[in-house]
A = this chain, B = another copy of it.
Amino acid sequence: MRGRATRVLDASAIAAIVSATGVDRMYELAVERLTAVLTEHAAGTVDLRERDGFVLESPHRGLLEWMPAVRHGSSVSLKAVGYNPHNPAKYALPTILSSISLFDAATGHLRTVMDGTFATALRTGSASAIATRLLASPDARVLGLVGCGAQAVTQLHALARTIDVREVLVSDIDPEAERSFARRARDAGRLVRVASLEEVEERADVLCTATSVGVGEGPVIDGGRLKPGIHINCVGSDMPGKYELPLSTLRGSVVCPDHPAQAMREGECRQLAAEEIGPSLSDLLLAPERAKPLRSVPTVYDSTGLALQDLAMAELFSELSQTLGVGDDVTIESSAGDPRDPYAFLETAA
């Protein structure tokens, strides 16, 4: 028996894939793959577990979570995500560190280990784009962004491929994040203007909240000035007890979660009773006629992030890495010699 290779896709390999493919094309592919995997879920060919994890209190308060999903007959993905808000200041590391392992469903072999950062940003933005296409008015022109971090950039880029964005109004409690946003938005930066939170709320046709608001410090908008046809993508859910939207806004909107059970544990839906929650994104993709009448009323996409979305992204990057010949192969799993001899690998290695 010979060991099988595991392809390692580090940040530079991901960069090579994205550069060779083009950022625009990556968003297109992501929307295609996510649409497919979310509709396949109903057919039972893919499955997932809700996110689970450990709350870490020591040495700092943080989270370490895992997100498993399966495409039967093909692959199993397991994303690990660390959420540690102290990282930038204390360790010169990003708040979120993430990796995805992709296994062969036929053999259990670890096929790919990849950085999960960009894949997560891409799928979160693309999922919002799918929700926005279904739930926002086709006449939407003004995009509001509350929170100007990395997620706001990918929300903007994904949504600009979905609606005809003419103006982007941004607000953040950190003036430096506001100031640097247009630059980070690349080409779309010409549409960006820093605005007061009031103006963002009043003028946005589509709003995205993607903040690091602390537990007990939300909501991040007032909600009283929103347009009657507003669509909100609420993507900031990450820590237990964190909310971005006021209850009144949720109660006055049709709230569509990515995954009802997970959103009731982690998302804005925690503020609602089960009967107050609307159709899921998968429901709407399977019955788009249910979405159409919602385009003229307030809607919220409660985005908690699904393991299924990570599966689709891991498959996409893994396929692109094969096509493009990108990444390094290592042999991690022991498969040396006699499977009945637990020490066979000692001799093979020596």
Contact = CB atoms under 8 A, between A and B. Distances in A.
Nearest to A122: B342
A161 B300 CA distance: 62
A59 B177 contact: no
Given A1-B94, A76-B64, A12 B349 contact: yes
Q: Which one of A12, A59, A96, A186 has the highest number of Cβ atoms from chain B below 10 Å of its Cβ?
A: A12
A108 B113 contact: no
A91 B106 contact: yes
A289 interface: no
Contact of A93 (B1, B97, B117, B343): B1
A82 B81 CA distance: 21
A49 to B, nearest CB: 7
A170 to B, nearest CB: 12
B57 A72 contact: yes
Nearest to A12: B349
A234 interface: no
Interface stretch (A130-138, A216-224, A264-272, A327-335): A327-335
A110 B184 contact: no
A113 B2 CA distance: 19
B23 A343 contact: yes
Interface stretch (A14-22, A245-253, A290-298): A14-22
A109 interface: yes
A119 to B, nearest CB: 10
Given A78-B80, A341-B153, A10 B64 contact: no
Interface in A51-86: 52-54, 56-60, 62-64, 66, 68, 70, 72-73, 76, 78, 80-84
A60 B108 CA distance: 11
B72 A58 contact: yes
Given A56-B72, A57-B72, A76-B64, A335 B110 contact: no
A58 B46 CA distance: 12
A256 interface: no
Q: How many copies of this protein are present in the complex?
A: 2
Contact of A11 (B3, B9, B59): B3
A82 B107 contact: yes
Nearest to A75: B64
In this complex, the interface size class of chain A, counting residues with CB under 8 Å from chain B, is 35 or more
Contacts of A91: 106-107
B52 A349 contact: no
A40 to B, nearest CB: 14
A69 B268 CA distance: 28
Interface in A141-193: 148-151, 153-154, 177, 180, 184, 186
A149 B117 CA distance: 41
A12 B68 CA distance: 28
A197 interface: no
12 contacts: A11-B348, A57-B72, A66-B78, A81-B108, A97-B108, A113-B332, A115-B332, A115-B334, A121-B342, A149-B340, A153-B340, A328-B330
Given A3-B11, A83-B108, 9 more contacts: A11-B331, A11-B335, A53-B68, A64-B76, A80-B101, A80-B110, A93-B107, A94-B339, A150-B342
